[in-house]
Structure 1
Amino acid sequence: MGVLTVYIVKRVLLVLPTLIGVITMIFFLVRILPGDPTHLLAGEQASPEIIERLKAEFGLDRPIYEQYILYLKSVLTLDFGTSYRTYTPVIVEIMSRFPNTVILALSAMLIAIFAGIALGIVSALRVGSVIDRAVIIFTSIYVSMPVFWLGLLLIYFFAVQLKILPAGGIGSPAHVILPSLALSHTPLSYIARITRESILETLSQEHVRLAIARGLPLRSILIN
Protein backbone atom coordinates (compact mmCIF):
# COMPACT_ATOMS: atom_id res chain seq x y z
CA MET A 1 0.00 0.00 0.00
CA GLY A 2 1.49 3.31 -1.10
CA VAL A 3 2.03 6.37 1.05
CA LEU A 4 -0.74 8.27 -0.74
CA THR A 5 -3.22 5.42 -0.22
CA VAL A 6 -2.37 5.23 3.49
CA TYR A 7 -2.82 9.00 3.79
CA ILE A 8 -6.22 8.89 2.06
CA VAL A 9 -7.40 6.00 4.25
CA LYS A 10 -6.32 7.84 7.40
CA ARG A 11 -8.11 11.00 6.33
CA VAL A 12 -11.30 9.08 5.57
CA LEU A 13 -11.16 7.34 8.95
CA LEU A 14 -10.72 10.71 10.66
CA VAL A 15 -13.63 12.24 8.75
CA LEU A 16 -16.08 9.43 9.54
CA PRO A 17 -16.54 10.25 13.27
CA THR A 18 -17.07 13.91 12.40
CA LEU A 19 -19.58 13.01 9.70
CA ILE A 20 -21.51 10.70 12.01
CA GLY A 21 -21.46 13.38 14.71
CA VAL A 22 -22.87 15.99 12.33
CA ILE A 23 -25.58 13.59 11.11
CA THR A 24 -26.51 12.75 14.70
CA MET A 25 -26.62 16.41 15.72
CA ILE A 26 -28.85 17.32 12.77
CA PHE A 27 -31.22 14.45 13.59
CA PHE A 28 -31.71 15.42 17.23
CA LEU A 29 -31.84 19.17 16.54
CA VAL A 30 -34.72 18.59 14.13
CA ARG A 31 -36.48 16.42 16.71
CA ILE A 32 -36.24 18.97 19.54
CA LEU A 33 -37.51 21.87 17.43
CA PRO A 34 -41.01 23.02 18.40
CA GLY A 35 -43.88 22.01 16.17
CA ASP A 36 -44.96 18.84 14.43
CA PRO A 37 -44.08 18.32 10.75
CA THR A 38 -47.25 16.29 10.24
CA HIS A 39 -49.37 19.30 11.21
CA LEU A 40 -47.38 21.39 8.74
CA LEU A 41 -48.00 18.84 6.03
CA ALA A 42 -51.65 18.09 6.74
CA GLY A 43 -52.73 21.53 7.91
CA GLU A 44 -53.99 22.74 11.25
CA GLN A 45 -57.54 21.55 10.53
CA ALA A 46 -56.50 17.94 9.82
CA SER A 47 -58.24 15.21 11.77
CA PRO A 48 -56.34 13.08 14.33
CA GLU A 49 -56.67 10.08 11.99
CA ILE A 50 -54.83 11.89 9.21
CA ILE A 51 -52.13 13.02 11.63
CA GLU A 52 -51.60 9.48 12.88
CA ARG A 53 -51.48 8.14 9.34
CA LEU A 54 -48.82 10.66 8.37
CA LYS A 55 -46.80 9.89 11.49
CA ALA A 56 -46.89 6.20 10.59
CA GLU A 57 -45.94 6.97 7.00
CA PHE A 58 -42.91 9.01 8.02
CA GLY A 59 -41.99 6.71 10.91
CA LEU A 60 -42.57 9.43 13.48
CA ASP A 61 -44.70 7.11 15.61
CA ARG A 62 -41.71 4.89 16.37
CA PRO A 63 -39.34 5.23 19.36
CA ILE A 64 -36.62 7.82 18.90
CA TYR A 65 -33.83 5.23 18.71
CA GLU A 66 -35.63 3.41 15.89
CA GLN A 67 -36.08 6.69 14.05
CA TYR A 68 -32.37 7.36 14.45
CA ILE A 69 -31.36 3.94 13.10
CA LEU A 70 -33.69 4.34 10.12
CA TYR A 71 -32.31 7.84 9.57
CA LEU A 72 -28.71 6.57 9.49
CA LYS A 73 -29.67 3.76 7.14
CA SER A 74 -31.43 6.16 4.80
CA VAL A 75 -28.50 8.60 4.75
CA LEU A 76 -25.96 5.84 4.06
CA THR A 77 -28.09 4.54 1.18
CA LEU A 78 -28.71 8.08 -0.15
CA ASP A 79 -32.42 7.71 0.51
CA PHE A 80 -33.31 11.11 1.93
CA GLY A 81 -37.00 10.41 2.23
CA THR A 82 -39.85 12.78 1.50
CA SER A 83 -39.97 16.50 2.15
CA TYR A 84 -42.30 17.49 4.99
CA ARG A 85 -43.03 20.77 3.21
CA THR A 86 -43.63 19.78 -0.42
CA TYR A 87 -44.37 16.06 0.04
CA THR A 88 -41.98 15.22 -2.79
CA PRO A 89 -38.80 13.09 -2.59
CA VAL A 90 -35.92 15.10 -1.14
CA ILE A 91 -33.59 13.85 -3.88
CA VAL A 92 -35.92 15.47 -6.43
CA GLU A 93 -35.74 18.75 -4.49
CA ILE A 94 -31.94 18.53 -4.44
CA MET A 95 -31.57 17.70 -8.12
CA SER A 96 -33.89 20.52 -9.16
CA ARG A 97 -31.48 22.98 -7.53
CA PHE A 98 -28.26 21.17 -8.41
CA PRO A 99 -27.64 22.88 -11.80
CA ASN A 100 -27.82 26.36 -10.24
CA THR A 101 -25.51 25.21 -7.46
CA VAL A 102 -22.96 23.95 -9.99
CA ILE A 103 -23.14 27.21 -11.96
CA LEU A 104 -22.60 29.23 -8.79
CA ALA A 105 -19.71 27.05 -7.60
CA LEU A 106 -17.95 27.12 -10.97
CA SER A 107 -18.41 30.88 -11.27
CA ALA A 108 -16.94 31.46 -7.82
CA MET A 109 -14.03 29.12 -8.58
CA LEU A 110 -13.22 30.86 -11.88
CA ILE A 111 -13.31 34.28 -10.24
CA ALA A 112 -11.04 33.05 -7.45
CA ILE A 113 -8.53 31.48 -9.84
CA PHE A 114 -8.22 34.27 -12.40
CA ALA A 115 -8.51 37.22 -10.02
CA GLY A 116 -6.27 35.55 -7.43
CA ILE A 117 -3.52 34.77 -9.94
CA ALA A 118 -3.74 38.26 -11.44
CA LEU A 119 -3.49 39.96 -8.05
CA GLY A 120 -0.63 37.68 -7.02
CA ILE A 121 1.35 38.45 -10.18
CA VAL A 122 0.81 42.21 -9.91
CA SER A 123 1.76 42.16 -6.23
CA ALA A 124 4.93 40.13 -6.83
CA LEU A 125 6.10 42.26 -9.75
CA ARG A 126 5.55 45.43 -7.70
CA VAL A 127 6.90 44.08 -4.41
CA GLY A 128 7.33 46.78 -1.79
CA SER A 129 5.24 49.29 -3.75
CA VAL A 130 1.92 50.86 -2.90
CA ILE A 131 0.20 48.35 -5.19
CA ASP A 132 1.84 45.44 -3.37
CA ARG A 133 0.78 46.75 0.02
CA ALA A 134 -2.73 47.44 -1.26
CA VAL A 135 -3.07 43.86 -2.53
CA ILE A 136 -1.80 42.46 0.79
CA ILE A 137 -4.22 44.62 2.79
CA PHE A 138 -7.11 43.83 0.45
CA THR A 139 -6.59 40.06 0.59
CA SER A 140 -6.13 40.16 4.38
CA ILE A 141 -9.42 42.00 4.87
CA TYR A 142 -11.16 39.96 2.19
CA VAL A 143 -10.23 36.57 3.66
CA SER A 144 -11.16 37.57 7.21
CA MET A 145 -14.59 38.93 6.29
CA PRO A 146 -17.54 36.57 6.95
CA VAL A 147 -19.25 35.57 3.74
CA PHE A 148 -22.70 36.69 4.93
CA TRP A 149 -21.36 40.15 5.80
CA LEU A 150 -19.55 40.43 2.47
CA GLY A 151 -22.74 39.39 0.71
CA LEU A 152 -24.71 42.13 2.46
CA LEU A 153 -22.07 44.73 1.52
CA LEU A 154 -22.10 43.64 -2.12
CA ILE A 155 -25.90 43.84 -2.22
CA TYR A 156 -25.89 47.25 -0.56
CA PHE A 157 -23.35 48.85 -2.91
CA PHE A 158 -24.10 47.16 -6.25
CA ALA A 159 -27.84 46.48 -5.95
CA VAL A 160 -29.18 49.15 -3.58
CA GLN A 161 -26.88 52.12 -4.18
CA LEU A 162 -25.54 51.68 -7.71
CA LYS A 163 -28.48 49.59 -8.94
CA ILE A 164 -26.34 47.84 -11.56
CA LEU A 165 -26.79 44.24 -10.35
CA PRO A 166 -29.82 42.33 -9.02
CA ALA A 167 -29.96 41.62 -5.30
CA GLY A 168 -31.38 38.13 -5.74
CA GLY A 169 -33.11 35.70 -8.00
CA ILE A 170 -31.87 33.60 -10.90
CA GLY A 171 -32.32 33.64 -14.66
CA SER A 172 -29.48 35.66 -16.14
CA PRO A 173 -25.67 35.88 -15.81
CA ALA A 174 -26.09 39.12 -13.84
CA HIS A 175 -27.81 37.20 -11.04
CA VAL A 176 -24.71 35.05 -10.55
CA ILE A 177 -22.17 37.85 -10.14
CA LEU A 178 -22.82 38.98 -6.55
CA PRO A 179 -23.13 35.51 -4.94
CA SER A 180 -20.08 34.33 -6.90
CA LEU A 181 -18.04 37.28 -5.65
CA ALA A 182 -19.13 36.57 -2.09
CA LEU A 183 -18.26 32.87 -2.30
CA SER A 184 -14.91 33.44 -4.01
CA HIS A 185 -13.41 35.67 -1.33
CA THR A 186 -11.54 33.03 0.68
CA PRO A 187 -9.98 31.02 -2.17
CA LEU A 188 -9.21 34.23 -4.08
CA SER A 189 -7.20 35.60 -1.17
CA TYR A 190 -5.27 32.37 -0.67
CA ILE A 191 -4.54 32.00 -4.39
CA ALA A 192 -3.28 35.60 -4.55
CA ARG A 193 -0.95 35.06 -1.60
CA ILE A 194 0.33 31.71 -2.86
CA THR A 195 0.94 33.14 -6.35
CA ARG A 196 2.80 36.12 -4.92
CA GLU A 197 5.04 33.99 -2.71
CA SER A 198 5.72 31.49 -5.51
CA ILE A 199 6.78 34.22 -7.94
CA LEU A 200 8.96 35.93 -5.35
CA GLU A 201 10.60 32.61 -4.51
CA THR A 202 11.20 31.93 -8.20
CA LEU A 203 12.65 35.38 -8.82
CA SER A 204 15.04 34.98 -5.90
CA GLN A 205 16.67 31.87 -7.36
CA GLU A 206 20.19 32.30 -8.69
CA HIS A 207 19.58 31.15 -12.27
CA VAL A 208 16.54 33.40 -12.58
CA ARG A 209 18.46 36.41 -11.31
CA LEU A 210 21.21 35.59 -13.79
CA ALA A 211 18.68 35.42 -16.63
CA ILE A 212 17.26 38.80 -15.62
CA ALA A 213 20.77 40.27 -15.48
CA ARG A 214 21.37 39.05 -19.03
CA GLY A 215 18.31 40.93 -20.22
CA LEU A 216 15.82 38.08 -20.59
CA PRO A 217 12.29 39.54 -20.45
CA LEU A 218 10.54 38.94 -17.16
CA ARG A 219 7.42 37.76 -19.00
CA SER A 220 9.38 34.95 -20.62
CA ILE A 221 10.80 33.92 -17.25
CA LEU A 222 7.36 33.78 -15.63
CA ILE A 223 5.84 31.83 -18.52
CA ASN A 224 8.67 29.31 -18.60
Structure 2
Amino acid sequence: MRIGNSLTNYSYSVPGGGSSSSIAIVEWPLVYLGNLIYGQEICQQGIVCCHVVNVHSLKLQWVCSLCSCIFKQGRCTRSSEPCPSAVGVFHANTKIIVEDGTAEAWVRCKDEQVADLLQLSSAEWEGLQQHVVQQGSVYFQYQGRSGHELHEENTGDLLMQYLGTVCASPIVCRSIQLAFKVDSRNKRMLGQTETFQMRMLKCGDHQYSTKMAPTLSLTCLDIKEVDYRMLCHLGNDRLIQ
Protein backbone atom coordinates (compact mmCIF):
# COMPACT_ATOMS: atom_id res chain seq x y z
CA MET A 1 0.00 0.00 0.00
CA ARG A 2 1.40 3.35 -1.02
CA ILE A 3 -0.10 6.35 0.75
CA GLY A 4 1.51 9.12 -1.23
CA ASN A 5 4.56 10.25 -3.13
CA SER A 6 7.79 11.10 -1.40
CA LEU A 7 7.44 14.76 -0.54
CA THR A 8 10.01 17.46 -1.03
CA ASN A 9 12.34 18.69 1.69
CA TYR A 10 11.13 21.61 3.74
CA SER A 11 13.29 24.35 5.28
CA TYR A 12 12.75 24.46 9.01
CA SER A 13 13.99 26.84 11.70
CA VAL A 14 14.95 25.24 15.01
CA PRO A 15 16.85 26.50 18.09
CA GLY A 16 20.58 26.23 17.51
CA GLY A 17 23.07 24.47 19.74
CA GLY A 18 24.67 27.66 21.02
CA SER A 19 22.91 30.49 22.81
CA SER A 20 19.17 30.38 23.46
CA SER A 21 18.65 33.03 20.76
CA SER A 22 20.53 31.17 18.01
CA ILE A 23 18.51 29.67 15.16
CA ALA A 24 19.53 26.85 12.82
CA ILE A 25 17.96 26.25 9.39
CA VAL A 26 17.64 22.57 8.49
CA GLU A 27 16.18 20.66 5.54
CA TRP A 28 13.79 17.89 6.59
CA PRO A 29 11.42 15.83 4.44
CA LEU A 30 7.67 16.27 4.79
CA VAL A 31 6.29 12.76 5.34
CA TYR A 32 3.21 10.67 6.13
CA LEU A 33 3.23 8.55 9.29
CA GLY A 34 1.83 5.58 7.38
CA ASN A 35 4.72 5.63 4.93
CA LEU A 36 7.17 5.52 7.84
CA ILE A 37 5.50 2.42 9.26
CA TYR A 38 5.42 0.60 5.92
CA GLY A 39 9.02 1.55 5.15
CA GLN A 40 8.05 3.67 2.14
CA GLU A 41 9.74 6.75 3.60
CA ILE A 42 13.33 6.18 4.71
CA CYS A 43 14.30 8.99 7.06
CA GLN A 44 15.35 9.35 10.67
CA GLN A 45 14.10 12.92 11.00
CA GLY A 46 11.24 14.68 9.30
CA ILE A 47 8.15 16.86 9.52
CA VAL A 48 4.53 15.74 9.67
CA CYS A 49 1.31 17.74 9.70
CA CYS A 50 -0.83 15.95 12.26
CA HIS A 51 -3.60 16.28 14.82
CA VAL A 52 -3.07 15.85 18.57
CA VAL A 53 -5.51 13.11 19.59
CA ASN A 54 -4.81 13.39 23.31
CA VAL A 55 -2.19 14.09 25.95
CA HIS A 56 -1.60 10.64 27.42
CA SER A 57 0.59 11.76 30.32
CA LEU A 58 2.26 14.90 31.62
CA LYS A 59 4.94 15.08 34.29
CA LEU A 60 6.14 18.39 35.73
CA GLN A 61 8.82 18.45 38.41
CA TRP A 62 11.57 20.40 40.08
CA VAL A 63 14.79 18.51 40.81
CA CYS A 64 17.86 19.43 42.80
CA SER A 65 20.71 20.82 40.69
CA LEU A 66 23.25 18.66 42.58
CA CYS A 67 21.65 15.32 43.40
CA SER A 68 18.52 15.31 41.18
CA CYS A 69 16.22 14.57 44.12
CA ILE A 70 12.85 16.32 44.17
CA PHE A 71 13.20 20.03 44.92
CA LYS A 72 10.20 21.31 46.88
CA GLN A 73 9.35 24.69 48.39
CA GLY A 74 12.83 26.07 47.86
CA ARG A 75 14.88 23.15 49.16
CA CYS A 76 16.12 19.69 48.26
CA THR A 77 14.07 16.85 49.79
CA ARG A 78 16.91 14.30 49.97
CA SER A 79 16.46 12.38 53.22
CA SER A 80 19.58 10.21 53.37
CA GLU A 81 21.84 13.18 54.21
CA PRO A 82 21.41 16.96 53.96
CA CYS A 83 22.04 18.45 50.53
CA PRO A 84 23.71 21.89 50.40
CA SER A 85 22.02 22.89 47.15
CA ALA A 86 19.48 25.71 47.16
CA VAL A 87 18.91 25.59 43.40
CA GLY A 88 16.23 23.60 41.61
CA VAL A 89 15.87 22.80 37.92
CA PHE A 90 12.46 22.48 36.28
CA HIS A 91 11.68 19.61 33.91
CA ALA A 92 8.56 18.87 31.89
CA ASN A 93 7.85 15.65 30.01
CA THR A 94 4.76 14.58 28.13
CA LYS A 95 3.64 11.73 25.93
CA ILE A 96 1.01 12.45 23.30
CA ILE A 97 -0.81 10.55 20.57
CA VAL A 98 -0.97 12.14 17.11
CA GLU A 99 -2.49 11.07 13.79
CA ASP A 100 -2.28 12.39 10.24
CA GLY A 101 -5.02 10.35 8.54
CA THR A 102 -2.61 7.56 7.57
CA ALA A 103 -1.46 6.28 11.00
CA GLU A 104 -1.08 7.12 14.67
CA ALA A 105 2.14 7.69 16.60
CA TRP A 106 3.26 8.17 20.18
CA VAL A 107 5.38 11.28 20.59
CA ARG A 108 7.56 12.29 23.53
CA CYS A 109 8.02 16.01 24.19
CA LYS A 110 10.03 17.78 26.87
CA ASP A 111 10.61 21.15 28.50
CA GLU A 112 9.90 24.11 26.16
CA GLN A 113 8.21 21.77 23.69
CA VAL A 114 5.59 21.11 26.37
CA ALA A 115 4.94 24.85 26.70
CA ASP A 116 4.50 25.05 22.91
CA LEU A 117 2.12 22.07 22.98
CA LEU A 118 0.01 23.62 25.76
CA GLN A 119 0.20 27.02 24.04
CA LEU A 120 1.25 28.77 27.24
CA SER A 121 2.85 32.20 27.13
CA SER A 122 6.17 32.78 28.90
CA ALA A 123 4.36 34.32 31.87
CA GLU A 124 1.86 31.43 32.06
CA TRP A 125 4.65 28.86 31.79
CA GLU A 126 6.61 30.53 34.61
CA GLY A 127 3.43 30.77 36.69
CA LEU A 128 2.79 27.06 36.24
CA GLN A 129 6.35 26.28 37.34
CA GLN A 130 5.82 28.30 40.54
CA HIS A 131 2.69 26.31 41.36
CA VAL A 132 4.54 23.03 40.76
CA VAL A 133 7.45 23.98 43.04
CA GLN A 134 5.05 23.98 46.00
CA GLN A 135 4.46 20.25 45.45
CA GLY A 136 7.82 19.40 43.88
CA SER A 137 6.30 17.07 41.30
CA VAL A 138 2.91 16.57 39.65
CA TYR A 139 1.78 13.84 37.29
CA PHE A 140 -1.31 13.92 35.07
CA GLN A 141 -2.49 10.90 33.11
CA TYR A 142 -5.26 10.69 30.55
CA GLN A 143 -8.11 8.64 32.01
CA GLY A 144 -10.71 8.52 29.24
CA ARG A 145 -12.01 9.90 25.99
CA SER A 146 -13.42 13.04 27.63
CA GLY A 147 -10.03 13.76 29.19
CA HIS A 148 -11.64 15.17 32.33
CA GLU A 149 -11.50 12.04 34.48
CA LEU A 150 -8.98 12.33 37.31
CA HIS A 151 -7.89 9.82 39.92
CA GLU A 152 -10.10 10.20 43.00
CA GLU A 153 -7.22 11.51 45.09
CA ASN A 154 -6.70 14.37 42.59
CA THR A 155 -10.29 15.60 42.23
CA GLY A 156 -9.77 18.27 44.90
CA ASP A 157 -6.42 19.44 43.52
CA LEU A 158 -6.93 22.68 41.62
CA LEU A 159 -3.61 22.31 39.76
CA MET A 160 -4.60 18.83 38.53
CA GLN A 161 -8.03 20.09 37.52
CA TYR A 162 -6.37 22.88 35.57
CA LEU A 163 -4.02 20.46 33.80
CA GLY A 164 -6.90 18.10 33.01
CA THR A 165 -8.94 20.92 31.49
CA VAL A 166 -6.04 22.34 29.46
CA CYS A 167 -4.85 18.96 28.16
CA ALA A 168 -8.34 18.05 26.92
CA SER A 169 -9.09 21.44 25.37
CA PRO A 170 -9.18 22.21 21.61
CA ILE A 171 -6.30 24.61 22.27
CA VAL A 172 -4.07 21.56 22.81
CA CYS A 173 -5.90 18.89 20.80
CA ARG A 174 -5.35 20.68 17.49
CA SER A 175 -3.48 20.39 14.22
CA ILE A 176 0.26 20.98 14.55
CA GLN A 177 3.40 20.89 12.45
CA LEU A 178 5.67 18.40 14.19
CA ALA A 179 9.40 18.02 13.59
CA PHE A 180 10.48 14.62 14.87
CA LYS A 181 13.10 11.90 14.94
CA VAL A 182 12.30 8.19 14.91
CA ASP A 183 13.07 6.44 18.20
CA SER A 184 15.93 3.96 17.87
CA ARG A 185 13.80 1.02 19.06
CA ASN A 186 11.44 1.61 16.10
CA LYS A 187 14.06 1.65 13.35
CA ARG A 188 14.46 -2.11 13.02
CA MET A 189 10.66 -2.67 12.86
CA LEU A 190 9.75 -0.11 10.20
CA GLY A 191 8.78 -1.74 6.93
CA GLN A 192 8.93 -5.25 8.44
CA THR A 193 5.38 -6.53 7.81
CA GLU A 194 6.16 -9.72 9.75
CA THR A 195 6.08 -7.60 12.92
CA PHE A 196 2.39 -6.79 12.29
CA GLN A 197 0.07 -8.59 14.74
CA MET A 198 -3.44 -9.94 14.25
CA ARG A 199 -6.00 -8.22 16.47
CA MET A 200 -9.70 -8.86 17.04
CA LEU A 201 -11.93 -5.78 16.98
CA LYS A 202 -15.57 -5.81 18.08
CA CYS A 203 -18.22 -3.48 16.68
CA GLY A 204 -21.70 -4.17 18.00
CA ASP A 205 -22.45 -7.86 17.50
CA HIS A 206 -19.71 -8.32 14.93
CA GLN A 207 -16.04 -9.17 15.33
CA TYR A 208 -13.36 -8.33 12.81
CA SER A 209 -9.83 -9.64 12.44
CA THR A 210 -7.20 -7.22 11.17
CA LYS A 211 -3.46 -6.79 11.08
CA MET A 212 -2.14 -4.00 13.29
CA ALA A 213 1.13 -2.26 12.55
CA PRO A 214 3.67 -1.86 15.39
CA THR A 215 3.32 1.31 17.40
CA LEU A 216 5.28 4.18 15.88
CA SER A 217 7.31 5.98 18.54
CA LEU A 218 8.77 9.43 17.84
CA THR A 219 10.72 12.07 19.74
CA CYS A 220 9.64 15.66 19.26
CA LEU A 221 12.27 18.06 17.94
CA ASP A 222 9.99 21.07 17.57
CA ILE A 223 6.32 22.06 17.46
CA LYS A 224 4.95 24.82 15.28
CA GLU A 225 1.47 25.91 14.31
CA VAL A 226 0.33 24.50 10.98
CA ASP A 227 1.68 26.19 7.87
CA TYR A 228 -1.39 26.08 5.63
CA ARG A 229 0.78 26.33 2.53
CA MET A 230 2.14 22.96 3.60
CA LEU A 231 -1.39 21.60 3.95
CA CYS A 232 -2.13 22.74 0.39
CA HIS A 233 0.97 20.86 -0.75
CA LEU A 234 -0.27 17.73 1.06
CA GLY A 235 -3.72 18.11 -0.46
CA ASN A 236 -2.31 18.42 -3.97
CA ASP A 237 -0.12 15.37 -3.40
CA ARG A 238 -3.12 13.25 -2.43
CA LEU A 239 -5.25 14.47 -5.34
CA ILE A 240 -2.54 13.39 -7.78
CA GLN A 241 -2.74 9.78 -6.52
User: TM-score by structure 2 length?
Assistant: 0.19
Which one has the largest radius of gyration? 1
Higher relative contact order (CA 8 A, sep 6+): 2
More strand by share: 2
More helix by share: 1
